[in-house]
Amino acid sequence: MDSDDSVTDPNPHHPDPSLDAEPATVEQMGSLTLGEAGDAAGAERPVGNGFLPADFYAAAGEIEVVEEGSPVSGDLAGPSSLGGPGACRERSGRGDALPSPSSSGYAGERGSSGGSSEIEEADDRETMLDDWSRGKRHPDEDDGSVSWRKRKKHFFILSNSGKPIYSRYGDEHKLAGFSATLQAIISFVENSGDRLKFIRAGKHQVVFLVKVPIYLVCISCTEEPYEALKRQLELIYGQMLLILTKSVNRCFEKNPKYDMTPLLRGTDAVFSSLIHAFSWFVFSNPKPKALVIWNPATFLNAYTCLPLSYSTRQAASAILQDVADSGVLFALLMCKNKVVSLVGTQKASLHPDDMLLLSNFIMSSESFRTSESFSPICLPRYNPMVFLYAYVHFLDVDTYLTLLTTSSDSFYHLKDCRIRIETVLVKSNVLSEVQRSMLDGGLRVEDLPLESSLRSRSLTTPELSSSQSGIGGPSGLWHFMYRSIYLDQYVSSEFSSPISSSSQQKRLFRAYQRLYASMHDNGTGPHKTQFRRDEDFVLLCWITQDFELYAAFDPLSDKALAIKTCNRVCQWVRDLENEIFLFGASPFSW
């Protein structure tokens, strides 16, 4: 690799992440808060309270250790370069500092949304299985059906006059009365000059997102944090804009009672696949392979790349760049939900959310696989008002090329571009490398180098390949996600054997979600770490200006070792950055 290529080291201010247990460095930490939870069942653990920013964890800008049992001192040190004035504050017994869960009982304060409190939990797995394939399941259900009420997670889109637009379950038109109720609740609050964020009703949360003239509502008993559910509503709204643009709003200006459902006809598969990506697994289209893949992009605000050797990705980028120079706005080569390469003209950059929504749209629509196609598509983060035109072509079952342009008559040009691109990709073996990488999978915690001094391991050398034992990585490391803030990209490890069961993966996903929400609450400081232990995992999160690291360990892991291991993970990721990240696609690197 090119050492004098400045983009290959995007983090000149990388703190030296030496979180070694040296008492001397303690002084340099921002601050350290120690909280000790008494019991593992965690009456004080904020499960399900994530929507209350203040009561989740302590204030921002602190290093917080939440661990049962042993009081900890001095063995968690912040990156020294980020040290600042601060105190080492100790707090024992969190009862006084953190509100008890009962304070979140919003139901009593604000009332519940009618029947929602009667919804019982149902096993979502069966739902997801038959939810798959073509579009909407259970169109025969409505709010009177017991089965409908038992669904764990509902999503609704409605207009501000109460007309149903989309419902995850059940026929929209049969839900007219229910929609009108939701609308009444929202406008009742709006009329008093307020804004309704959520309602808590027993186990259920009702989360609202107002995008006049569109309302979005989620009713969920999944105990996900409010912020996570709100983000999911934002993504659903974005998916709708991708299909229709914001100019649908004009239909409501002319006729407030406008029925929008015909405009979304045939898109149920798009929404249900997006909703699956929020949860802990996505099926891969087109066949209902029971393949468990979650999509952390739905809450990390970042995209991920398919691991490839630097030269392979360069070859792909070079030909895409060539095409982009000929008047293509964005050229995007992806394999499932992973980016092979991405190139944009001029300063245009593609937002990770737009990539998520675009790839979800393409992968969930069978139509794109039949032949090459040319369709209007809106990128809501790029410009929610206008349609771009997307030329989409699948090069193999999982790999597809998307060329985006502003001009509606450039199909033949884009078709020529695709032929050129495809020829180059085949000749330079990019496509076969892509397939190989898909088979090989991503980073494995078992391969984490033992010494951080063992630099520049290439992940394409099979010498390290995986895991004799069934115990995960060193020091009980089970999984990690690393997000480069600078690049808008993340990399997450494969699931190691201790979390090979889907129920473990679901728990991990939820734990990360809560961790993410707590770390990103009100005014995140530039550097924060959090260490927590519960019966399932030891979780460690470390956020600096440059990256965010989320790591899950064996619940019995030693804390000092876990911290050390996190440093090694960061070093490892940096050593491999040319293979796991795409450089040059971020606006800051132009």
38 near another protein, rule: CB under 8 A: no
What's the farthest any 2 CA atoms get from each other in the chain?
69
**CB-wise, 411 or 486, nearer to another protein?**
411
**CB-wise, 285 or 565, nearer to another protein?**
285
**CB-wise, 326 or 373, nearer to another protein?**
373
Residues in contact with another protein, shown as a per-residue x/- string from 90 to 129 under the rule CB under 8 A: ----------------------------------------
Sheet strands (E) in 38-171: 63-66, 88-90, 153-159, 164-167
Pick the stretch among 152-160, 307-315, 366-374, 477-485 that binds another protein (CB under 8 A): 366-374
243 near another protein, rule: CB under 8 A: yes
Q: Give the integer Cα–Cα distance in Å for 390 and 374.
A: 5
Out of 263, 424, 560, 561, which residue is the one contacting another protein (CB under 8 A)? 263
Sole residue written with tokens 């989360």: 207
Radius of gyration of the chain (CA): 24
Out of 161, 373, 428, 502, which residue is the one contacting another protein (CB under 8 A)? 373
Q: Give the integer Cα–Cα distance in Å for 585 and 590.
A: 8
Tokens standing for residue 490: 């993340």
Contact at 8 Å (CB) between 236 and 155?
Answer: yes
Out of 190, 223, 322, 372, which residue is the one contacting another protein (CB under 8 A)? 372
**CB-wise, 218 or 395, nearer to another protein?**
395
Tokens standing for residue 503: 């129920």
Q: Give the integer Cα–Cα distance in Å for 244 and 410.
A: 21
Task: Name the burial class of residue 555, with classes exposed (0-12), middle (13-18) and buried (19+) by CB atoms within 10 angstroms of its CB.
Answer: middle
Out of 144, 376, 441, 470, which residue is the one contacting another protein (CB under 8 A)? 376
Out of 365, 410, 557, 578, which residue is the one contacting another protein (CB under 8 A)? 365
Residues in contact with another protein, shown as a per-residue x/- string from 132 to 151 under the rule CB under 8 A: --x-----------------
For residues 507-517, one letter each, b for 16 or more C-beta atoms within 10 angstroms of the residue's C-beta and e for the rest, the string is bbbbbbbbbbb
**CB-wise, 394 or 486, nearer to another protein?**
394
404 near another protein, rule: CB under 8 A: no
**CB-wise, 16 or 409, nearer to another protein?**
409
Q: Give the integer Cα–Cα distance in Å for 273 and 269.
A: 6
Pick the stretch among 118-126, 297-305, 347-355, 409-417 that binds another protein (CB under 8 A): 409-417
Out of 191, 192, 370, 456, which residue is the one contacting another protein (CB under 8 A)? 370
Out of 70, 265, 439, 463, which residue is the one contacting another protein (CB under 8 A)? 265
Total binding residues for another protein by CB under 8 A?
Answer: 25
**CB-wise, 200 or 418, nearer to another protein?**
418
394 near another protein, rule: CB under 8 A: no
Q: Give the integer Cα–Cα distance in Å for 344 and 351.
A: 11
Q: Give the integer Cα–Cα distance in Å for 182 and 193.
A: 17
For residues 250-278, one letter each, b for 16 or more C-beta atoms within 10 angstroms of the residue's C-beta and e for the rest, the string is ebbeeeeebebeeebeebbbbbbbbbbbb
For 377: left if phi > 0, alpha if psi spans -120 to 50, otherwise beta; the answer is beta
244 near another protein, rule: CB under 8 A: yes
Out of 201, 264, 274, 340, which residue is the one contacting another protein (CB under 8 A)? 264
Pick the stretch among 314-322, 374-382, 466-474, 548-556 that binds another protein (CB under 8 A): 374-382
Site residues for another protein, window 58-97 (CB under 8 A)? none
CB atoms within 10 A of CB 193: 6
**CB of residue 367 vs another protein: minimum separation in angstroms?**
5
Pick the stretch among 207-215, 365-373, 438-446, 490-498 that binds another protein (CB under 8 A): 365-373
262 near another protein, rule: CB under 8 A: yes
Query: How far does CA 183 lie from the centroid of its chain?
Result: 29
Task: Name the burial class of residue 485, with classes exposed (0-12), middle (13-18) and buried (19+) by CB atoms within 10 angstroms of its CB.
Answer: middle
CA nearest to 325, candidates 348, 352, 354, 351? 348
**CB of residue 235 vs another protein: minimum separation in angstroms?**
19
Contact at 8 Å (CB) between 405 and 389?
Answer: yes
**CB of residue 130 vs another protein: minimum separation in angstroms?**
16
Site residues for another protein, window 504-563 (CB under 8 A)? none
Out of 63, 158, 201, 390, which residue is the one contacting another protein (CB under 8 A)? 390
3 state DSSP class of 199: strand
CA angle 49, 65, 497 (to 5 degrees): 80
**CB of residue 142 vs another protein: minimum separation in angstroms?**
24
**CB of residue 243 vs another protein: minimum separation in angstroms?**
7
**CB of residue 297 vs another protein: minimum separation in angstroms?**
22
Out of 409, 451, 462, 523, which residue is the one contacting another protein (CB under 8 A)? 409
Binding site for another protein (CB under 8 A): 134, 243-244, 262-266, 365-368, 370-377, 390, 408-409, 411, 415
